[in-house]
Amino acid sequence: MFARHPETLLIPHLRGELAAARRAQVEAHLRGCARCRAAADGLSSALGTIRREVAELPVPAWSIYRAELQRKLAARENRLSRWWRPTLIWTSFAATGVAAVALLTLFAFHQAPNVDQLALADADVGLLRSYPVVEKMDLLENYDEIDHLDELNPPAAGANATHPL
């Protein structure tokens, strides 16, 4: 016998899908349990209705169904192929690669203009002329020297460009 009601076994029992031992257990339970017998009668009635309704369904026209399915699949494929074109993707990768190589080349061969080139372009190069001095300064402690850098004399051509601080 069952410790609980065999609700999940009622439909397989009604359809004849249970093994002989299990079927005998379910039948013994149904003889002693009015609740499960009522459920089995309701399920038997529902299964009969389903069988009748399925038998009355029209047979589909498979050729029409297949033609409609192929048309829908082709339309979907065309819609996807317009967006997902391998040539578009490879072209995008190639363009990105060319742009990356161009940027790397630009940065690799780019040289900052020297002070004389900036002076020819009328740029303010006062601090750049004293760059060796600025380079050796501790910027956090020498604000007064930085403020008066334009008053410093430019270093001699052959002399080491250091300024005693």
- 3 state SS of 113: coil
Say which DSSP state 162 is in.
-
pLDDT tens-digit readout, 53-65: 888 888 888 899 9
pLDDT tens-digit readout, 124-152: 556 566 666 656 655 545 566 666 767 76
Q: pTM for the whole thing?
A: 0.36
Show Cβ contacts of residue 139 under 8 Å, excluding neighbours closer than 6 positions.
146
User: Is residue 165 predicted with pLDDT exceeding 80?
Assistant: no
Say which DSSP state 59 is in.
P
For residues 163 and 152, give the distance between their C-alpha atoms in angstroms, rounded to a whole number: 9
Looking at residue 164, its amino acid is P
CB 39 within 8 A of CB 14: no
| Residue that is written with structure tokens 């002693």 in the block | 32
CB 2 within 8 A of CB 25: yes
